[in-house]
């Protein structure tokens, strides 16, 4: 069969070349009655049902219906529980309590947070993300995070890292430097970064020769699985949230996401920090992918820099997960709380503090010139339209400003200013340093007074397939604890 003059409509085509008069009046009336509140359509008797007079008319009507469906489906959204709306008032704050938010959403913290952030950044409209597919995709993410019933690496942790990444983009000013696609990559990567985590470390998989270790050749075993499994979800048509991205954007997004999630492998930590410190000494610009990766890594290990109740909660969850792994290894493992406290403080000193220090320094190098240029524009007496310094354009920034100051914002304090000139990196550095120092002192106090409630000793019989020296495993396990905190 030969078809002549057939042209596929591009997803960007707004049907500007399809004239209204080419669609029969009964089709236009039916569309108006069905998909709008238009009242000017003449009423018909029940027996006068609209009839399609030709295949051409049917195709034309179908195109209009598909286009109108796309426009209206993204407006449907999710129905937020009132308690969730109240909790979201703090979503732009460092002190955001993800545990309270999890309860407020009926234990769906990740679903509502991802949807809310994509809405705040206007990314659902910008990349024409089908809302129903988005909901099903994030619900599948939540199921995957709950698969192994982990105390720590679960959907609450994913939501916490996603919110922290949002805070860092917002309050460091990096949001003004990133493109819309890069912001989407950050939210997406944060949401999937521990998808289907087994509650065990990469070393556990390597030493036990697990299926995923064999599959990924012992290299960033879990991180490779997180990305791969998440993308497999989108192979299902009803969960393909990236269906409307063009090929170039799809490839760039995937490249960004892979690089960012790989950076959460703690075995890469010291090299990552070294690379960023070297970049700070160079006169050339800093690679955006490396900045995004550092930001996600910082968000992933951020809880020691959060308020004490949050940090304490996360620490105990992580310890419980660690103990479960020790049981799986079935080793003799004496463990005292004083060791735990020392290791916790060491992790904060040698891992957390340097990471945030480098992140703030990096941000200062990137955003500093933009802030200065923005201030010059503000002080200029020129009447010309103000130039946008944002990588994503003013639309994204204005969208975040509107959402944060509007429905979900804390109106009691007035609208929050997220402009470049409002960025205060020294204040952020001071605040983070103060919280970290306070948390370290709390751990020291608990150690001195013997009030630390973590399990103090685990003793198991030595058996199983692992025949290596016990002391080696004890040392390695403690190291793993630090590197997955």
The whole-angstrom separation of Cα 462 and Cα 331 is: 5
Within 8 A by CB and 6+ apart from 239, the residues are: 133, 136, 137, 140, 233
Which residue blocks in 406-464 are alpha helix, DSSP H?
425-449
Query: Is 153 tagged catalytic?
Result: yes
CB 168 within 8 A of CB 96: no
- Cβ-based burial of 204 (10 A; exposed 0-12, middle 13-18, buried ≥19): buried
Binding residue per annotation — 194? yes
The whole-angstrom separation of Cα 146 and Cα 159 is: 13
Residue of 57, 108, 148, 153 marked catalytic: 153
| HSE (side-chain half, CA atoms, 13 Å) at 40 | 1
Tokens representing 398 are: 């204005």
The whole-angstrom separation of Cα 20 and Cα 23 is: 6
Binding residue per annotation — 10? no
Binding residue per annotation — 193? yes
What one-character DSSP code corresponds to residue 458? B
Tokens representing 106 are: 């009926």
**Residue reference for tokens 């608990």:** 446
Sign, CA dihedral 28-33-34-37, equals positive
Residues catalogued as catalytic? 153
Which residues line the annotated binding site for Zn(2+)? 157, 193-194, 300
Which residue numbers belong to the known binding site? Answer: 157, 193-194, 300
């Amino acid at each position: 069969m030969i078809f002549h003059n057939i042209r596929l409509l591009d997803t960007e085509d707004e049907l500007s070349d399809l004239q209204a008069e080419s669609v029969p009046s009964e089709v236009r009336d039916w569309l108006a009655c069905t998909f709008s509140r238009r009242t000017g359509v003449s009423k018909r008797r029940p027996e006068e049902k609209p009839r399609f007079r030709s295949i051409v008319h049917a195709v034309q009507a179908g195109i209009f219906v598909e286009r109108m469906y796309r426009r209206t489906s993204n407006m449907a959204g999710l129905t937020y529980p009132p308690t969730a709306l109240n909790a979201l008032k703090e979503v732009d704050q460092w002190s955001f309590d993800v545990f309270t938010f999890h309860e407020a959403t009926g234990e769906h913290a990740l679903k509502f947070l991802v949807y809310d952030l994509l809405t705040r950044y206007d990314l659902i409209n910008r990349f024409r993300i089908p809302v129903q597919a988005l909901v099903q995709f994030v619900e599948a993410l939540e199921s995957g995070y709950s698969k192994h019933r982990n105390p720590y690496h679960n959907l609450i942790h994913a939501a916490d890292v996603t919110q922290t990444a949002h805070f860092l983009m917002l309050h460091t000013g990096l949001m003004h430097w990133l493109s819309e696609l890069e912001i989407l990559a950050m939210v997406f990567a944060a949401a999937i970064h521990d998808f289907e985590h087994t509650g065990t470390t990469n070393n556990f998989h390597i030493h036990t020769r697990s299926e995923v270790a064999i599959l990924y050749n012992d290299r960033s075993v879990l991180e490779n699985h997180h990305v791969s499994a998440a993308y497999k979800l989108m192979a299902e048509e009803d969960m393909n949230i990236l269906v409307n991205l063009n090929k170039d954007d799809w490839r760039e997004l995937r490249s960004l996401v892979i690089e960012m999630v790989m950076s959460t492998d703690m075995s890469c930590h010291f090299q990552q920090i070294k690379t960023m410190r070297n970049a700070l000494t160079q006169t050339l610009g800093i690679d955006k992918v490396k900045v995004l990766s550092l930001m996600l890594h910082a968000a992933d290990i951020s809880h020691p820099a959060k308020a004490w109740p949050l940090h304490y909660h996360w620490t105990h969850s992580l310890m419980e997960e660690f103990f479960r792994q020790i049981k799986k290894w079935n080793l003799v493992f004496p463990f005292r709380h004083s060791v735990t406290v020392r290791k916790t403080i060491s992790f904060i000193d040698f891992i957390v503090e340097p990471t945030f220090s480098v992140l703030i320094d990096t941000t200062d190098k990137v955003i500093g010139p933009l802030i200065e240029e923005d201030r010059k524009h503000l002080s200029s007496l020129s009447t010309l339209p103000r130039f946008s310094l944002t990588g994503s354009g003013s639309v994204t920034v204005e969208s975040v400003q509107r959402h944060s100051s509007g429905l979900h914002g804390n109106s009691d304090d007035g609208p929050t200013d997220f402009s470049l000139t409002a960025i205060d990196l020294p204040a952020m550095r001071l605040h983070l340093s103060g919280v970290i120092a306070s948390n370290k002192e709390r751990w020291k106090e608990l150690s001195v007074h013997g009030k630390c409630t973590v399990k103090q000793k685990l003793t198991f019989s030595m058996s199983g397939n692992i025949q290596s020296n016990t002391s080696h495993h004890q040392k390695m396990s403690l190291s793993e604890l630090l590197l997955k905190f």
